[in-house]
Chains A and B, each alone.
Chain A
């Protein structure tokens, strides 16, 4: 798993899947038409964002289209899994409300791991070798911490009681964010002292 650019076509396919799932859910539960309509509007907005991202890429703006496509794919996967679970429940599958909550939180944690995986691959312009070495070290550390957090929490949301998994998430994610931010400040202050 690398952080290669996500194809716009893959994002469009996911949007189409989401639209289909909304359509089927709307047919099965017409009394919730308002919610399904809002979901469809969100799909249309995501499509517009994708088109805008593609224009940025065509104009040569580095990374713009990729970031938008990645965000749309992330949102689509979240929505698609929720809609699929709702559809399964409507069709009589023995799925508890507990499972839908666990699945949503586990997906969020899995995406934390996914984006953490790509942090060391984002290179900044090279100003000096010493600075690049410190930044590289910081990016590797941040990437590893987010991946380990994400994987541990994803497993926790499926295996542990929800209260415990929720508490773990509330402790681990902010602690990691604070630690990485602290290291970043330390790297910047070290650079200033050496300058």
Chain B
């Protein structure tokens, strides 16, 4: 669930679904990413149990399926601009950048 909420695109999908159930196409119109990428996002959200897909004819309709606690976490994540992936890569690149600036210290 934290992984699902850590991505800004997925959070925006959940915010759109708060208003009403939407088809995959309707949701994708709000984003400038490819269909396979959007499908991957939907898949992550479904695996986290935050949305549910229902097939109606030839369309797949997505519905929000969040508990109150998950809803509150979404609001919190949106407020603080939660991005776990970005924070992890920043933490990983910070020591590398430091070693490039001070190679003498590293050798010492």
Residues of A within 8 A of B (CB): 1-4, 116-121, 123, 126, 129-130, 132-133, 136, 140, 143-144, 147
Contact indicator per residue, chain B 48-60, by CB within 8 Å of chain A (1) or not (0): 0100101010000
Interface size on B, residues (CB 8 A): 19
Please tell me if the beta carbons of A121 and B19 are within 8 angstroms of each other in the complex: no
Please tell me if the beta carbons of B61 and A2 are within 8 angstroms of each other in the complex: no
- By a CB distance below 8 angstroms, the chain B residues around A123 are 52, 63, 65
Please tell me if the beta carbons of A2 and B20 are within 8 angstroms of each other in the complex: no
Interface residues of B in 1-58 (CB under 8 A from A): 1, 18-21, 49, 52, 54, 56
Dominant SS at the A interface? Answer: helix
Please tell me if the beta carbons of A1 and B69 are within 8 angstroms of each other in the complex: yes
The 3 tightest CB contacts between A and B, nearest first, are A133-B20, A143-B68, A117-B68
Please tell me if the beta carbons of A136 and B21 are within 8 angstroms of each other in the complex: yes
Please tell me if the beta carbons of B67 and A133 are within 8 angstroms of each other in the complex: no
**Contacts A133-B19, A140-B71; A126 near B63 (Cβ below 8 A):** yes
**Contacts A129-B21, A132-B20, A133-B21; A116 near B52 (Cβ below 8 A):** no
**Least CB separation from A143: chain B residue:** B68
- By a CB distance below 8 angstroms, the chain B residues around A143 are 67-68, 71
